[in-house]
A and B are shown apart, each in its own frame.
Chain A
Amino acid sequence: MNSSDCLLWVLYASLLALLPTVLVAIPALPIRWKRSLGFLVTVALCLLLIVVGIHALASPALHASIPGPLTDLAWQFTLDPLSGFFLLVLGSVGFAASLHAIGYFHHGSQSKLKQVLLPYPVFVTAMVWVLLAANAYTFLVAWELMALSSTFLILVEGQDQRRQQAAYLYLLIAHIGALALFVAFALLSHGDLISNGSFQRMAQLSSSPLVANVVFGLTLLGFGAKLGLLPLHAWLPEAHPAAPSPVSALMSGAMLPIAVYGLLRIDWQILPAGAVWWGPLWLGLGLCSALFAVLYSALQTDMKRLLAYSSMENMGLILIALGLSRIFAEQNLWPLAALALIAGLFQVLNHAFFKSLLFLGSGSVLHATGTLEMSHLGGLIRSMPQTAFLALIGIFALAGLPPLNGFASEWLLLQAFLLAPSLPSGMLRAILPLAAAGVVLVTAVAAFAIVKFYGIAFLGRARSAVAKHEAGIWERASMAFLALFCVLLGVFPGRVVDSLSHITALLLHGSQIAHQSALALTPISAQRASYLPGVFLLGIALSIAVVFVLVWWRFGRSLRRAPVWSCGFAADYSAQTQDSPTGFSQPLLRIFGVSLSTLRSRQGLGNAIPVQIPDPFWKGFYLPWARAALGMAAMVSRLQHGRITSYLLYSFLTLIVLLVIFR
C-alpha cells in the first residue's frame, strides 16, 4: 500500500464496511453467515484503522477532496497525527467490540440481527468520517450520522419504555450539542460555511476575542454534551446500560473520545490563542464532573450504569489534563504543556482499552446470567473463570494500579501537576497542587467503585442469579486482546509517549517532550522522576515467586477446605449475609451524602432490595427545563384552534409585520 494513499484507502474501506447493511437484506443467506460476515467486515475495517492510525501518527498530513452534492460543497478529508491517533483508538475498540458482537448476538433472532447490522456499520463509518473531516460540512454530516445511528443501536435490545426514554434523551442532548456546534462553525467561518467552511480556512480567518469566547463556549456545550460534562451528562448513565454491550463499549471507548478530538481540533487548532481563563475553566469543569461522576459510579447497583458513570469520570480526568496543558501553553511553557497533553491523550487510549474490556465483560455476564443487577450476582469467578480473570486485569487498569496502563497516564498527569511551580501566577501555583489532590481523590474513589463492581459480581457466593456457561470463544478472544494491551501499554509506556509526541508537535508549535526509552518513563529528567514499569512488574513477580517457593519448600502442606468461620456466626450462613451493592457503598453515601441533599433521606437502606440512586441533576436541572418547555408548548397551543380563518389571520398579521419592518 502506498503510504500517501492511506487516506483514500480508509475512505473506500469505510464505504465498503457499509456492505453488511445490504447483506442482512438478502433472505437466502443463513443467519450464521450474516452474523459472522456482518461483523467481520467491521473487524477488517478496524484492523485497517489500527494500521493506518499508527502510520499516520508519524507522517505528515494527507488531504483528499471528493465532489459533493453542490458545486462549492465538497467532502474534504484530512489525515494527520491527531486524527490518526483517534483512528487508532476507534480501531482498537471497534476491533474488539465487533469480535465480541459475533458471540454476543449469537442467540439473537433474524429481526434483531437486522436491527443491529443496519445501524452498526453506519455508526463505525460515521465515526471514521468525523475523525477525518476537514470541513464543517463533512464534520457536521458525519457527526449527525453518528448520533442517529447510535440512537438506533440503543433501541436494539428491546423497545420498552425505559430504553425509549434513554434513546430520546440521548437524541435530544446530542442535538442540542450539534446545534451549538453548527453555530460555532458558522461563527468561525464568518457566516459563510460554503466558501470558508474548511478547517484550514477557518484557522486563517481571524475572529474578535468576543467571537472567540462565544465559539469556545459553544464548542464546550457541543462537545461537552458528548463527553458527559456535568449538567449534560444525564444521557450517559441511561444510554450505556440500555445499549447492547459491544455498542456500549464502542460508545464509551470510541465515541466519547471523539468529543475530546473535537475539542482539540477546534478549540486548540482552529481557534487562535484564547483567553487566560480557558484552561482553568476546562480544568475546573473536568474536576467537578469527575468528582460527581465517581461518587455516583460508586453508588450504582447496575454493572453497566456503574461503568457509564466511570466513563464520565474518565472524560473529566482527560479534560483536566487538557486544561492543565492549556494553562501551561498560555504561559509558553511548551514542554510542560506537551507533558500534560500527552497525559490526557494517553488516558484516552487507556480508557478505550480497559473500559471496553469491562463493558464487554459485563456483556458476557449478562449473557451467562441474564442480569446485570449486582444484587443478584456473585461468585462468577468460579463459573466464568476466564472472563473473571480478564475482567480482573481490566479493573486493575481502571483502578490505576502499577504496572498496568491506567497508572502510567495517571502518573504522567500527577507529574505535570507537580510542575505547577514553574507558572508565574502565584494563585495558580498554589491551587494546582490542590487540584492534584482532587485528582487523587477521584482515582481513589474510582478504585472503591471498581472494587465494588468486581467484588460483588465476581467474588463471594452467588446471590440469586447463576452463570450457566463461560463466555463464548469470540467474546473471550476480544477481551483477551484488550487485556493484553492493558498490560502492554502499561509496561511499555515510553513507546506510547514517543508516538504521542507527534501530536503535541502538531498542536503545540513543534514542542515535544524528551525521547523516552521503551521501558521507562522519564518525562523531564531521570533525576526529576522516573518510573520503570517493566522492572516493577519483574520485581513484584520475582518477589512473589521467591516467597511462594520458600514458603512451599519450608512449610508446604496440603490445604484443607473448610466451611467459613466468620467469627462463629456462620451457622445460618446464606449468600444474603454478604454485602448488597447498596450496602457496600453505604458508608460512602453517608459521608458524601451530606453534600448531596437528595440522597440524605435514603441512608439506612442497606438490604437486598436494589436501591436506585437518582441523579440530582434530574430534579434540579432537567425537570425545570422540561416543565418550562411543556408550559411554553401549552401556551402556543392556545393559538391553535384548528379553524382556517384564524390561521389565515395569523399569516396576514405576520405579513403586515414583516412589511412594516422590511418594507
Chain B
Amino acid sequence: MTSLIIWRDQCFQILFAVAAAPLLAGWLKTVRALLQNRRPAGILQPYRDLFRLFHKEAMIPEQSSWLFRFTPYVMFGAKVMAVAIVPIIANGLPLASAADVIALVGLLAVARIFQVLAAMDTGTDFGNYGAHREMLISALAEPALLAALFTASLLARSTSLVQIVHLSQIQLFSLHPSMVFAAIAFGFVLLVENARIPVDNPATHLELTMIHEAMVLEYSGRHLALLEWAAQLKLFLYMTIGFALFLPWGIAANPLLTSLVIAAGLVLVKLFFAVVVLALVETLLAKRRLFRVPEFAITGFLFGVIGLLSHFMLGS
C-alpha cells in the first residue's frame, strides 16, 4: 500500500513540475517586462505559445537524419526523468535513489549532447555556431557546478540529494558559510546553463551571438514546442535543485497528500521570489561577448572553490 502511495507521489511530482514549468517562464517574462517598463503579455502566454506550436505543422530540413527528429523527445524525456529524481515537493521518492547529483548532471549532459548533435545535423552555419558555443560554455561551467555540488555533498557526507535534503532539514537554520559561496557558484552556473542574460539572450532570434536559439533554429511545430517546454523545465529543474541544496525547507518528508499540496505551494512561493531575483539580474546586466563568458564561468568556479576551502578551514 505504502509503495502505491509513494508512486502516486512520484507521479504527482512529475506532473506538477511539467505543468508548472511554463508558468515559471511566464512569470519570469512578466516580471522582466514590468521591470523594463513594458506591458507583459500575461503570465499564461507560454501555455498559449505551446498550444499554438503543438497544433502547427512540423517541418524538418531536407538533409536531416533521424537524430534531428528524435532529439526533441529525448530532451523532454530526459527532463521528465530529471524532475522525477530531484526532491521537488517530496523527499525519498522511489526514483530518487536511481541517481545522485553527479548522475543528475550526467542526465542533463545527455540532453545537451543530443541537442548539440541535432543542431549539427541540420548542416547549417547557425546550427554549428550554436553547437560549438554550447559545448564550450558547458565545458567551462561544469567544474563550477561540480565545485558547488561537492561543497553540499561534503557537508552532508553524501552525494544523494535525498540525504542532502534530509540532513539540512534536520539541522534547521544552522548556518554554513561554505554553503553561501556554493549557492553563489550555483547561481552563476544556473545563468550559464539556462542561456540567461549575461551569457545568452533567451528573448531573441536572429542574433549572430545566439547560442541556444541557434540550435533550435530549424525546429518547428510540435518539435519546437517540446524543445521550448524542455528548456522551461530545465530552468525549473535548476531552480528546484538549488532549493533542494540550499533552501530545502518545506519539502514534504512524509507521503501524505496534504503535506504534498503544502509543499507544492511552498515551491511555488520560492519560485516566485527566485524569479524576481533572476529577472532583476537579467535586467541589470548586459549580455556579454562570447569570449567574456569564460571569465564569468571562472568567477563561478572560484566561488565554488572558496566554498570548498572554507568548508575545510571552518569545518562547516
Asked if A588 meets B110 with Cβ closer than 8 Å, knowing A454-B117, A566-B125, A579-B128, the reply is: no
Query: Does A386 count as interface, using CB distance less than 8 angstroms?
Result: no
Q: Is B268 an interface residue (CB 8 A)?
A: no
**Interface residues of B toward A: which range?**
35 or more
Partner of B54, one of A430, A540, A554: A554
Are B102's CB and A411's CB within 8 A? yes
CB distance from B312 to the nearest CB of A (A): 5
Given contacts A441-B143, A590-B291, contact A555 B218 (CB under 8 A): no
Chain B CB within 8 A of A452 CB:
yes
With A547-B80, A567-B206 known as contacts, the answer to whether A455 contacts B109 (CB < 8 A) is no
Complex-state Cα separation, A578 to B121, whole angstroms? 10
Residues of the B chain whose Cβ atoms lie less than 8 Å from the Cβ of A460? 63, 120-123, 127-128
Q: Check B81 for interface membership: any CB of A closer than 8 A.
A: yes
Stretch at the interface among A29-37, A245-253, A521-529: A521-529
B77 & A555 in contact (Cβ 8 Å cutoff): no
Closest B-chain residue to A566, C-beta based?
Answer: B124
Q: In the complex, A392 Cα to B70 Cα: how many Å?
A: 14
Contact between A539 and B217, CB atoms less than 8 A apart:
no
B239 at the interface (CB under 8 A from A): no
B124 contacts A578, CB within 8 Å? yes
Q: Is there an interface contact between A402 and B103, defined as CB atoms closer than 8 Å?
A: yes
The answer to whether A535 touches B60 (Cβ under 8 A) is no
A46 within 8 A of B: no
Cross-interface CB contact of A551 among B63, B126, B222, cutoff 8 Å = B222
Chain A residues with CB under 8 A of B136: 448, 587-588, 591
Q: Is residue B309 within 8 Å, beta carbon to beta carbon, of the partner chain? A: yes
Cβ proximity bits B207-222 to A, threshold 8 Å, 1 near / 0 not: 0000000000110001
Query: Which residues does chain A contribute within 8 Å of B54, judged by CB atoms?
Result: 551, 554-555
Bound Cα distance A31, B91 (Å): 66
| Least distance between B204 CB and chain A CB atoms (Å) | 12
- Within the complex, the shortest CB–CB distance from A600 to chain B, in Å, comes to 14
Q: In the docked arrangement, what's the CA distance between A562 and B58, Å?
A: 10
Could you tell me how many residues of chain A have their Cβ less than 8 Å away from some Cβ of chain B?
Answer: 85
Determine whether B254 belongs to the interface, using a CB cutoff of 8 Å to chain A: no
Binds A, one of B41-49, B154-162, B187-195, B257-265: B154-162
Cα distance, A85 to B142, chains bound together (Å): 33
Residues of B within 8 A of A445 (CB): 139
Checking B106, B153, B291 against A402 with a beta-carbon cut-off of 8 angstroms, the contacting residue is B106
By the criterion CB–CB under 8 Å, are A407 and B123 in contact? no
* Chain A hits for B147, CB < 8 A: 433, 437
Instruction: Tell whether, in the assembled complex, residue A414 and residue B116 are in contact, meaning their CB atoms are under 8 Å apart.
Output: no
- In the bound complex, residues from chain A placing their C-beta under 8 Å from that of B139 are 441, 444-445, 447-448
CB closest chain-B residue, reference A535 = B98
Question: Which residues in A have their C-beta under 8 angstroms from that of B102?
Answer: 411, 414-415, 529, 531
Chain A nearest CB, measured from B255 CB (Å): 19
Whether A557 pairs with B57 at a CB distance below 8 angstroms is yes
The winner among B69, B81, B147, B222 for most chain A CB atoms within 10 A is: B81
Query: Any chain A CB within 8 A of the CB of B36?
Result: no
The answer to whether the Cβ of B138 comes within 8 Å of any Cβ in the partner chain is yes
Nearest chain A CB to B182 CB, angstrom units? 12
Pair A535/B308 contact, Cβ less than 8 Å: no
Interface stretch of the complex, out of A72-80, A374-382, A478-486, A611-619: A374-382
CA–CA, A240 to B68, complex, Å?
32
- B62 pairs with A563, CB closer than 8 A: yes
Q: Does B135 contact A (CB under 8 A)?
A: yes
- Given A418-B153, A527-B160, A560-B58, answer yes or no on A382-B65 (Cβ-Cβ < 8 Å): yes
Whether B308 contacts A459 by the Cβ 8 Å rule is no
Asked if B132 and A452 make an inter-chain contact with CB atoms under 8 angstroms apart, the answer reads: yes
Least CB distance, A108 to chain B, in whole angstroms: 32
Cβ-based interface call for B61 (8 A): yes
The answer to whether B67 touches A565 (Cβ under 8 A) is no
Given A433-B147, A561-B62, A401:B113 Cβ within 8 A: yes
Query: Which residues on the B side are within 8 Å of A277 (C-beta)?
Result: none
For the complex, what is the distance from the CA of A143 to the CA of B226, rounded to whole Å? 56
With contact pairs A430-B308, A584-B128 given, residues A418 and B159 touching in the complex (Cβ less than 8 Å): yes
Digit string of B93-136 for contact with A (CB within 8 Å is 1, else 0)?
00101111011001101100100110011111111110111011
17 further contact pairs, Cβ within 8 A, besides A456-B120, A562-B62: A379-B63, A411-B102, A411-B106, A418-B150, A437-B143, A437-B305, A444-B139, A527-B160, A532-B99, A535-B95, A561-B62, A564-B62, A566-B124, A566-B218, A567-B205, A584-B131, A588-B136
**6 residue pairs from A and B, CB less than 8 Å apart:** A379-B123, A430-B313, A433-B147, A528-B158, A530-B160, A560-B60
